Amino acid sequence: MPQSSPQPFRDRVEAGELLAGQLSQYSNRDDVVVLALPRGGVPVGRQVAEKLGVAFDVYIVRKLGVPGHEELAMGAIADGVRLLNDEVVRALDIPSNVIDSVARREQIELERRENLYRGTRAPIVLAGKVVILVDDGLATGSTMRAAVMAVKQHQPALVIVAVPVGAPSTCRDLRREADAVVCVRTPDPLVAVGMWYRDFTPTSDREVRSLLGTVT
């Protein structure tokens, strides 16, 4: 019989619940922490952490968009790491001063969000921990790749990438950099992450703060 095509998630909450079901081996462990990439990854990550009974925090990554075509990533920054998409940079012949300018602007936004979301609360210590990095989906994977590289600086025991939906090639490629990759659905073609959610309403700063504020 032909296989039925995968259906979109109802919303990020349902996506997080289903994702948690594939991470059950990490339940109720003191050495596990879920780090969500804002903003869309936070409702997903909150559900994952809640279902698993583990620590939860945000990990802020900023995409470096091509000027004039900001939806196209030429790289990403996170926690002192700058990762470039060499193919995009070469294909569009983007000069280094333009990259530097975009990176400076995004660094300011990264710091704004860090202060807004976390306030005076210190980040969770990641050394020796099993870190599960969560987003609402993976298209090119630039931001997640930067997050993996940045988290590794903190010497965790393992880095696991976990998303509800991702492009097959991106999920496959990330396995070279993360210790494990969990993608609930890998439609081919992905086209766009938002197509796989019936409700893909943008997550607001207020919602991120609320979800973080409920963590005990």
Give me the numbers of helices (H) and strands (E) for the chain, helices first please.
7, 8
- pLDDT value of position 216: 41
- pLDDT value of position 5: 66
Domain boundaries, the chain: 12-60+123-213
- Dihedral (CA of 119, 50, 142, 10) sign: negative
Annotation: CATH topology of 12-60+123-213: Rossmann fold (3.40.50)
Helix or strand holding residue 143 (H, E): helix 142-152
Query: SS3 of 87, please?
Result: helix
Give the Cα separation of 47 and 49 in Å (integer): 6
**Identity (one letter) of the amino acid at 26?**
Y
pTM of the model: 0.90
Give the Cα separation of 5 and 152 in Å (integer): 36
- Residue-level pLDDT, tens digit, the chain, 216 residues: 444 567 899 999 999 999 999 999 999 999 999 999 999 999 999 999 999 999 999 999 998 999 998 878 899 999 888 989 898 999 999 999 999 999 999 999 999 999 999 888 888 999 999 999 999 999 988 889 999 999 999 999 999 999 999 999 999 999 999 999 999 999 999 999 999 999 999 999 999 999 998 444
Q: What does the buried/exposed string (b/e) look like for 84-95 if buried means 16 or more CB atoms within 10 Å of the residue's CB?
A: bbeebbeeeebe
Helix or strand holding residue 25 (H, E): none
Query: SS3 of 24, please?
Result: helix
